[in-house]
Amino acid sequence: MDASPIVPVETLEGSLVEKINLLTKDFEKNYGFPPEFVARVPGRVNLIGEHIDYCGYAVFPMAIDQEILMAVKPRQDQHLELSNVNPAYKDYSCELMNFDIDKGVPHWFKYCLCGVKGIMENSSKTKNELKGLSARMHGLIPPGAGLSSSSAVVCAAALAFAHANGLVYKKQELADNCARSERYIGTEGGGMDQAIAMLATQGTAKLIEFNPLRAHDTKLPPGAVFVIAHSLAEVNKAASSLFNCRVMECRLAAKVLARIHGINPDSVTRLADVQFSLNKTLPEMASLAGLYLHDDPYSKEEVSKLLEMTESQLENKILSENTRDVNFFKLRQRALHVFQEAHRVWQFRDICNSGSVTALQELGQLMFDSHSSCRDLYECSHPQLDNLVEVSRNHCLGARLTGAGWGGCMVALVPENGVKSFIDHLKENYYKNLPAARDRDLNEVLFATQPGSGAAIFNL
Ligand code: NG1
Ligand code: MG
């Protein structure tokens, strides 16, 4: 894999040049000196494979055109000066040697600090040798939409800080590093978002496998277009414990399944670990989960007994800070979703490679199935998202929530010649009477997208 992603400015397309020029001017107006380079990191849409990356399973995202741009001037001191084109996001500054990322309110600049901290901890330079920067960010990915604006900010800051300090990393290294450092914000995410942000290439979706991180180009069948539609129910998963609660339920399901099968629960953290120990297929794992885990939620007491530990050991050794107070865990439903969804990812890949004349219909069905599973087994949907999928049902090939869920966007598979009529259908039947859609530019929340390119640095 190639080193730090530096792209010659002459290869830029028209609209990106304009955006970079505007940001450069805005930077100069704000700071009184020009930036030296711009880091660009795209958002992503996950086509299939939801809430399984942190269980060790492969996912299927592609980068979108919407992006985070960060204009930067390296400094000679150790000051970090962060500002945002959007006045709603307040300026922030600190010293490299003494900043702290608390797990309280997930302010925008904390995602930048995560990226910086990740590099500081994995640098060939000592902390004293590292220099600060002045940066101005322009975010063009709708926040709280499941399009991974958070990871794009983490990756942009990491890339910018590394470049400003003359540090060169492989893209995989940066992706792994950013996946780890985004957890400083308090969410126990997998590595999908940072991986696709770094490794995406124009024109192809990627099947991404973890441990070690690998990305495989996968051509979508001809005529496949993905339309993204925001339900306009907004979420910030870092501001609630819903996301981490699911991660913990999967972790506990893995340990309980391990115990039942005579494997030491301490040796597993992810459902994939149990599968590999048992050497079973994904459908076999789904059957085992259905057979050995009960439908009623497990109480903390029951899980502790099964894992032969006290409740307080469970809270302190296994659960995250913000899930220690959770008392019930739905292990069967979450494990079933994970094994079945992980299987759908491989089916999706096989259909893409099959050249079948019914490939588009088959992919669409997998997407509908994925949505139902997210809604019913994983309970990570939202009534507005469910409604959006239902309104789409007979007007596209397949549709599902994308990203963490609990609001945010749907992705729909639409044949190339049906894109306009599908978008018109949603405007008329979903957005027209939705109060949250009033005064919104619908082009920003409802658009067709093609696989875009990954993170890059443009030296000015
Ligand atoms: P978003 O959509 O950014 O909240 C999250 C996780 C992913 C993955 C998806 C669900 C982070 C940074 N991202 O994404 O790793 O688990 O949810 O598939 O935590
Ligand atoms: Mg995110």
In order along its 460 residues, the chain shows pLDDT tens digits of 344 577 766 566 778 999 999 999 999 999 999 999 999 999 999 999 999 999 999 999 999 999 999 999 999 999 999 999 999 999 999 999 999 998 888 899 999 999 999 999 999 999 999 999 999 999 999 888 889 999 999 999 999 999 999 999 999 999 999 999 999 999 999 999 999 999 999 999 999 999 999 999 999 999 999 999 999 998 777 678 999 999 999 999 999 999 999 999 999 999 999 999 999 999 999 999 999 999 999 999 999 999 999 999 999 999 999 999 999 999 999 999 999 999 999 999 999 999 999 999 999 999 999 999 999 999 999 999 999 999 999 999 999 999 999 999 999 999 999 999 999 999 999 999 899 999 899 999 999 999 999 999 999 9
Whether 1 maps to a domain, the answer reads no
Q: Based on the fold, state whether residues 285 and 200 are members of the same structural domain.
A: no
Pocket test for ligand 1, best of 180, 192, 241, 251 (most atoms within 8 A of CB): 192
Q: Based on the fold, state whether residues 233 and 249 are members of the same structural domain.
A: no
Whether 346 maps to a domain, the answer reads no
Distance CA 370, CA 200 (A): 23
Q: Based on the fold, state whether residues 198 and 273 are members of the same structural domain.
A: no
3 state DSSP class of 105 = coil
- Name which residue sits closest to atom 5 of ligand 1, judged by CA: 404
Q: Which of 266, 301, 335 is the last residue of a domain?
A: 335
Q: What CATH number corresponds to the domain at position 295? A: 1.20.1440.340
For the question of an ipTM over 0.90, the answer is yes
Distance CA 343, CA 25 (A): 49
**Residue 266 C-alpha from the chain's centroid:** 28
The DSSP H or E segment spanning 344 is helix 331-354
| Beta carbon of 194 within 6 Å of any ligand 1 atom | no
Whether 344 maps to a domain, the answer reads no
Distance CA 272, CA 276 (A): 6
- Name which residue sits closest to atom 4 of ligand 1, judged by CA: 404
Q: Based on the fold, state whether residues 194 and 253 are members of the same structural domain.
A: no
Q: Which of 273, 300, 335 is the last residue of a domain?
A: 335
Contact 200, 43 (CB under 8 A): no
Distance CA 153, CA 114 (A): 9
Whether 352 maps to a domain, the answer reads no
Q: Which residues contact 151 (CB under 8 A, 6 or more apart)?
A: 44, 178, 182, 189, 193, 194, 197
Distance 193 CA to ligand 1 centre (A): 7
3 state DSSP class of 114 = helix
Catalytic residue among 176, 193, 217, 266: 193
Pocket test for ligand 1, best of 103, 242, 243, 379 (most atoms within 8 A of CB): 243
Whether 188 maps to a domain, the answer reads yes
Q: Based on the fold, state whether residues 195 and 111 are members of the same structural domain.
A: yes
Strand partners, 69: 40, 138
Tokens of 357: 């004349």
**DSSP state at residue 297:** P
| Beta carbon of 54 within 6 Å of any ligand 1 atom | yes
Q: Based on the fold, state whether residues 257 and 208 are members of the same structural domain.
A: no
Distance 33 CA to ligand 2 centre (A): 32
Whether 340 maps to a domain, the answer reads no
Whether 409 maps to a domain, the answer reads yes
Range of the domain at 176: 9-219+452-459
Reduce the secondary structure of 407-451 to three states and give it as a string: CCEEEEEEEHHHHHHHHHHHHHHHHCCCHHHCCCCHHHCEEEECC
Strand partners, 39: 70, 457
Distance 148 CA to ligand 2 centre (A): 4
Q: Based on the fold, state whether residues 13 and 134 are members of the same structural domain.
A: yes
Looking from the CA of residue 49, the nearest atom of ligand 1 is 18
3 state DSSP class of 75 = coil
Contact 38, 24 (CB under 8 A): yes
Tally the domains of the chain. 3
Q: Which of 335, 368, 384 is the last residue of a domain?
A: 335
Q: Based on the fold, state whether residues 20 and 120 are members of the same structural domain.
A: yes
Maximum CA pair distance of the chain? Answer: 66
Distance CA 399, CA 371 (A): 7
Distance CA 125, CA 112 (A): 20
| Beta carbon of 193 within 6 Å of any ligand 1 atom | yes
Q: Based on the fold, state whether residues 444 and 369 are members of the same structural domain.
A: yes
Whether 4 maps to a domain, the answer reads no
Distance CA 368, CA 365 (A): 5
Q: Based on the fold, state whether residues 250 and 293 are members of the same structural domain.
A: yes
Q: What is the edge-to-edge ordering of all strands in the sheet holding 60-74?
A: 92-95, 79-84, 133-139, 60-74, 37-48, 456-459
Q: What CATH number corresponds to the domain at position 99? A: 3.30.230.10
Distance CA 157, CA 40 (A): 10
- Name which residue sits closest to atom 17 of ligand 1, judged by CA: 404
Q: Based on the fold, state whether residues 231 and 365 are members of the same structural domain.
A: yes
Q: Which residues contact 23 (CB under 8 A, 6 or more apart)?
A: 35, 38, 69, 71, 85, 136, 138
Tell me, yes or no, if 26 is annotated catalytic. Answer: no
- Name which residue sits closest to atom 13 of ligand 1, judged by CA: 189
Q: What CATH number corresponds to the domain at position 401? A: 3.30.70.3170
Distance CA 134, CA 140 (A): 20
Distance CA 371, CA 381 (A): 8
**pLDDT of amino acid 8:** 63
Q: Based on the fold, state whether residues 16 and 139 are members of the same structural domain.
A: yes
Looking from the CA of residue 182, the nearest atom of ligand 1 is 12
The DSSP H or E segment spanning 74 is strand 60-74
